[in-house]
Amino acid sequence: MFNNNDKPPERGPRPSLQGRRPNGFALVFFLVAAGLFAAYFFRGESTPIREIRYSDFTRFLGQNQIESVTIHDNNTLDIFLRSSSGQESSARLKTRIPYNDPNLLTSLLEKDVNISGAAATPSPWRVVLELLPWFIGFGFIWFMFRNMQGGGNKTFQFGKSRAKRYQEEGKKVSFADVAGQKDAKFELEEVVAFLRNPQKFTKMGARIPKGVLLVGMPGTGKTLMARSVAGEAGVAFFHMSGSDFVEMFVGVGASRVRDLFEQGRRSAPCIIFIDELDAVGRTRGAGYGGGHDEREQTLNQLLVEMDGFDSKDGVIILAATNRPDVLDPALLRPGRFDRQVMVAMPDIKEREAILQIHAAKIPLNRNVDLVRVARASPGMSGADIANLVNEAALFAARQDKAEVEMGDFEEARDKVLMGVARTTLVVSDKERRMTAIHEAGHALLHYYLKNSDPLHKVTIVPHGRALGMALSLPEEDSYSRTRGWIEDRIAICYGGWLAEKLFYSETTTGTKQDIQQATEMARHMVCEWGMAEEMGPVAYGQEDEPIFLGKEIARHKDYSEDTAQRIDKAIEEILNRIRDNAREIIESHKIELEKLADELISRETLVDDEVREILGLPPGEKSASLTEPDSSPKESAPVN
């Protein structure tokens, strides 16, 4: 967990990138060429030229005023007139022959005119248009070769590493910026100590781990943790994503791996951080390309570089992934990623610390209790909590408030847990009442089941794709569940289905997700958790998870048909028994359920205390409403 998203914003100086040197020679060459071109084509003529009509030319010819003509191949004439003394005048005229005149030469010879021929001078713009393709071609070739000699992400630099270098010179990211994670920090402090003083370890003959793999769920702060290590040690930090290695061109990924490690050696001591390692480090042999797959070549080069990497160089390799199960075993052996550091989801104390970091950036009202907010947000990662605080600030800004109040956090949490409320959706009265009956069935069971979590809120305001929702929050963080809790959750899933059946003798499509959740939990009870007495504590079936797809698409059947029938029978028995128990509760409290549905239709949303008042139950200590000082909600478990 951390004070921002899993990929933290840049703090301090921006990444130092290689500057682009202006090519002065190319600029001077271009200016000189353009000047010569203009001087040649747009140079001034020694004799001024005036264009006349062809009829004027014939008139001058008839009056014997023309001394000489020059005929150009584009049917134009340059005309030089005689002066009054009979010599050639400096006046120069020009005309265009509009038609084919076969008598022109005869007339000129009769008037004793000097005749000459010449090629017409081409238009400057025509020359430009004719030479433009050549300029573009030569310019493209020059651009290619220039970029081949340059650095960075330029043309033909496919084999160069795209790692971003962060050299923290201002305010650095340190362990103090990462809330909680004491165990992860303790493991990484050795890396910091080695980068600060490697002689302390080498003189004892100790070998610092070459690579440290940060493992955790998305949003827990793995990237920020890696940057904090670099900040604590005061060394350069190279950040590159696993997907940046692989391109469509063969050999590019391996070349980038070599270039990345070469940059690290030149900048030692430093940290090379590879985010989303599973993008390039998945188990070999699972892709379509076999051993010649580009991704596998990249992985092979990474293995070679890490195997030949000397820890004395002062370079530590950090990597992050949320799928360590799909990584190639060769990456995880000693000598490569020697150590795995778990970046876990935050507990209640750590969530409070994260809230304090983010809440320090917004104006808070005095009624905001961050302890209760932390208790009401179990299962949230650091990124989720950052989003929660931001949503609360947005709610307050929409209402033109000067400070963020507790109600804003309540609305923000409901939006994060249940989705955006669709208040403009038009729902008919009949469907609205059926939704109220459905959600009342879910809500009612929370108060009559022994192991169920306290109800936080029930609403018939559409959220996301659901027309209504009943949200429960556990009293405290829990990392494992009992059989009783699971069975009560299955019963609550069937609450809406049973209520519809009781009042309308039929059910709607809105029960689809409830039935799926109930069936899935029952299957896990039988096949994985050993909670079916007739089947015993035996795991049945193995998840088939193709590495190149990265998700489960099938379950490997490693048992007989007879066992499959017994599994189906055990699942059916669990669901029938739980559903019968829930039906008894629903039918015995039909009046309370109908009263609760009526109140939902009139008020749309009810919290725990309001539901207790409607049902005639005394106020409970497990109230989940953030609006009451004594409430203590813990984790979301919405049921549609």
Question: The domain spanning residue 250 has which CATH number?
Answer: 3.40.50.300
| Residue that terminates a domain, selected from 294, 316, 342 | 342
Q: How wide is the angle at C-alpha 70 spanned by C-alphas 67 and 71, nearest 5°?
A: 135
| Residue that terminates a domain, selected from 342, 360, 390 | 342
What's the rounded Cα separation, in Å, for the pair 357 and 175? 13
Structural domain includes residue 151 = no
Do residues 609 and 628 touch, judged by C-beta distance below 8 A?
A: yes
Give the residues across from 241 on adjacent strands.
Answer: 275
| Residue that terminates a domain, selected from 393, 418, 443 | 418
Do residues 266 and 311 touch, judged by C-beta distance below 8 A?
A: no
In the three-class reduction of DSSP (H, G, I as helix; E, B as strand; rest coil), residue 164 is classed as strand
Beta strands in 445-541 (DSSP E): 455-459, 469-472
* Same domain for 286 and 252: yes
* Same domain for 337 and 292: yes
- Looking at the structure of the chain, the number of domains it has is 4
Quote the DSSP letter at residue 206.
-
* Same domain for 286 and 207: yes
pLDDT tens profile 252-272: 777 888 888 888 888 878 888
* Same domain for 502 and 354: no
* Same domain for 618 and 477: yes
More reliable by pLDDT, 566 or 124: 566
Segments forming the whole domain that contains residue 331: 164-342
Structural domain includes residue 1 = no
Structural domain includes residue 159 = no
- Tokens 């000189």 belong to 32
pLDDT tens profile 350-391: 888 889 888 888 998 888 888 888 888 888 888 889 899 999
* Same domain for 371 and 474: no
Among the ranges 24-33, 413-422, 559-568, which has the highest mean pLDDT value?
559-568
- pTM comes to 0.64
pLDDT tens profile 479-515: 788 999 999 999 999 999 999 999 999 998 888 999 9
* Same domain for 243 and 179: yes
Query: 10 Å Cβ neighbour count for 306?
Result: 18
What's the rounded Cα separation, in Å, for the pair 609 and 611? 5
Catalytic annotation, residues: 439
Structural domain includes residue 133 = no
What's the rounded Cα separation, in Å, for the pair 407 and 392? 9
- Show Cβ contacts of residue 289 under 8 Å, excluding neighbours closer than 6 positions: 295, 296
Tell me, what CATH number does 530's domain have? 1.20.58.760
Tell me, what CATH number does 99's domain have? 3.30.720.210
Beta strands in 362-498 (DSSP E): 455-459, 469-472
Q: What H or E segment, with its residue span, contains residue 94?
A: strand 88-96
Query: 10 Å Cβ neighbour count for 178?
Result: 28
Structural domain includes residue 527 = yes
What's the rounded Cα separation, in Å, for the pair 455 and 442? 10
* Same domain for 353 and 336: no
Structural domain includes residue 338 = yes
Strand order in the sheet with 66-72: 49-51, 88-96, 76-82, 66-72, 114-118
Structural domain includes residue 148 = no
* Same domain for 575 and 456: yes
* Same domain for 433 and 400: no
CA dihedral 264, 265, 266, 270 (to 10 degrees): 50
Kindly tell me the number of DSSP H helices and DSSP E strands found in the chain.
21, 17
pLDDT tier for residue 13 given thresholds of 50, 70 and 90: very low
Structural domain includes residue 36 = no
* Same domain for 539 and 459: yes
* Same domain for 394 and 373: yes
